[in-house]
């Protein structure tokens, strides 16, 4: 079986604005087994960065 490496986000900045709250709520949803969640934001609002933080937290 291959070694599984954990995802480690390397970014020069931290979540800001509503990103922290979104990360918390999405993390809770993943941990609760929710199959569907929505992250809605305008262009340039940090959706990809928010999801990268989520992936780092839950390692999924």
Tell me: the pLDDT tens digits for 5-49? Answer: 899 999 999 999 999 999 999 999 999 999 999 999 999 999 999
* 7: CB partners within 8 A, 6+ apart: 55, 56, 59
Name, in order, each residue with C-beta under 8 angstroms of 27's C-beta and a sequence gap of 6 or more: 54, 57, 58
pLDDT score, position 3 = 78
Return the H-helix or E-strand segment holding 36: none
Strands (DSSP E) contained in the chain are none
* Residue carrying the six token digits 């999405």: 26
Q: 9 or 3, which is more confident?
A: 9
Is a pLDDT exceeding 70 seen at residue 1? no
**pTM (2 decimals)?**
0.88
């Amino acid at each position: 079986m291959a070694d599984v490496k954990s995802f480690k986000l390397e970014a020069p900045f931290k979540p800001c604005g509503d990103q922290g709250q979104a990360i918390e709520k999405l993390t809770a949803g993943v941990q609760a087994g929710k199959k569907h969640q929505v992250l809605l934001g305008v262009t340039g609002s940090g959706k990809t960065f928010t999801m990268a933080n989520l992936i780092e937290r839950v390692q999924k």
